[in-house]
Amino acid sequence: MTQKILVLPGDGIGPEITAQASRILAACQARGLDVDVEEGLLGGAAYDVHGEPLPAETLEKAKAARAILLGAVGGPKWDKIEDLSKRPEKGLLGVRKQLGLFGNLRPAITYPQLADASSLKPELVAGLDIMIVRELTGGIYFGQPRGIEERDGERVGFNTYVYSESEIERIGRVAFEMAQKRGKKLCSVDKANVLEVTILWREVMERLAPEYPDVELSHMYVDNAAMQLVRAPKQFDVVVTGNMFGDILSDAAAMLTGSIGMLPSASLNESGQGMYEPCHGSAPDIAGQGIANPLATILSVAMMLRYSLDEPALAQRIEDAVGQVLDDGLRTADIASEGMRTVSTAEMGDAVLAAFEAR
């Protein structure tokens, strides 16, 4: 059956980078990928046309799609919108919420060709390949009650860190299954020495473990995990953690690779429907200049093929093509180094496409 793909270019460099990723998607169609691709408006681009960052039409298309490819949303143009519910990022949060995208996959991969770009010594990061599985729709970012109120003559701010067993179990299963497909090591990150909610988190992970006997489960407190990530990051294979810890650790892990322009991500729901997007934002400082790195978005298409469309061979072909252009010495400005050829967004797209076709 033909599956639907929705491309949401968004704002800033979004349209430039999704244009290159769409060319790769079209090349996959030419090789038999049975998908129907359409575009929609999200974020500031949608606000400008419809006065809403997530118009009903876009939401409808998103619900009907097997997978969504997003560029990025936001930018200074919309930072002054007073009604916070109309800000571009609300569009993105709305899609995540409406589709129930609870499982966030954030790979941190250091291409050997780019190991020098990391802030850590190349030998610590060369060949790094971590997958952080972050719970995305629960935890302290959404827990009730929350607010700022007056108590005993002063203002008090409060949030609630809450996870139910079922929420922990479903993200745990995503992580165990991911570990089964990779290096078979899963590290669950919590703060079970202090927080009851993560004592429960640890108990549920332990309870699931016998169902995945081929996966070695370990536990780490979040403070130690932060330390280990910069001390010896290659010890990790798959890491599973809650929303807030995952937010922080995945950004730190991303920086280990030295190049945010290279990192894709995925957010999945229970039926495997997913939204795929680069980890970076809309980079308004370079928007419209044709110099943005499209590789994170192109690699997001590879993740889409692997996790929502069950096409691992095409995914691998894209990843190999990206490796090939890096081997050939092509670099966009953000990953440029001496002796390498600095290319534009479109030239990088051309090169990946050529390498994809040639394989």
CA separation for the pair 165, 174 (Å, rounded): 14
Q: Which of 141, 234, 328, 350 is catalytic?
A: 141
Q: Specify the stretch interacting with ligand NAD by CB under 6 A; choose among 67-75, 154-162, 176-184, 220-228.
A: 67-75
Tell me whether residue 247 is one of the annotated catalytic residues.
yes
Which is nearer to ligand NAD, 89 or 129 (by Cβ)?
Answer: 89
Cα torsion 254, 255, 256, 257: sign:
positive
**Could you give phi then psi for residue 24, rounded to 5 degrees?**
-70, -40
Q: For the chain, what is the largest distance between any 2 Cα atoms, rounded to a whole number of angstroms?
A: 71
Q: Which of 34, 48, 79, 223 is catalytic?
A: 223
Least Å from the CB of residue 37 to ligand NAD: 20
Q: Specify the stretch interacting with ligand NAD by CB under 6 A; choose among 33-41, 112-120, 229-237, 288-296.
A: 288-296
Question: Which neighbouring-strand residues pair with 274?
Answer: 67, 268
Q: Specify the stretch interacting with ligand NAD by CB under 6 A; choose among 66-74, 112-120, 132-140, 180-188.
A: 66-74
Taking residues 317 to 356 in sequence order and writing x for each that binds ligand NAD by CB under 6 A, - otherwise, the string is -----------------x----------------------
Q: Does 48 bind ligand NAD (CB under 6 A)?
A: no
Kindly state the tokens that stand for 160: 């609630």
Q: Specify the stretch interacting with ligand NAD by CB under 6 A; choose among 29-37, 102-110, 174-182, 281-289.
A: 281-289
CA separation for the pair 76, 117 (Å, rounded): 28
Q: Does 92 bind ligand NAD (CB under 6 A)?
A: yes
Which is nearer to ligand NAD, 33 or 295 (by Cβ)?
Answer: 295
DSSP string, 35-74: EEEEE---THHHHHHHSSSS-HHHHHHHHH-SEEEEEE--
Q: Does 281 bind ligand NAD (CB under 6 A)?
A: yes
Kindly state the tokens that stand for 203: 């108990």
Least Å from the CB of residue 235 to ligand NAD: 28
Tell me whether residue 129 is one of the annotated catalytic residues.
no
Q: Does 188 bind ligand NAD (CB under 6 A)?
A: no
Tell me whether residue 350 is one of the annotated catalytic residues.
no
With a CB cutoff of 8 Å and minimum separation 6, the contacts of 94 are: 53, 54, 59
Amino acid residing at 237? D
CA separation for the pair 210, 122 (Å, rounded): 37
Note the Cα 133 to chain centre separation in Å.
10
Please give the annotated binding residues for NAD(+), written as ranges. Answer: 281-293
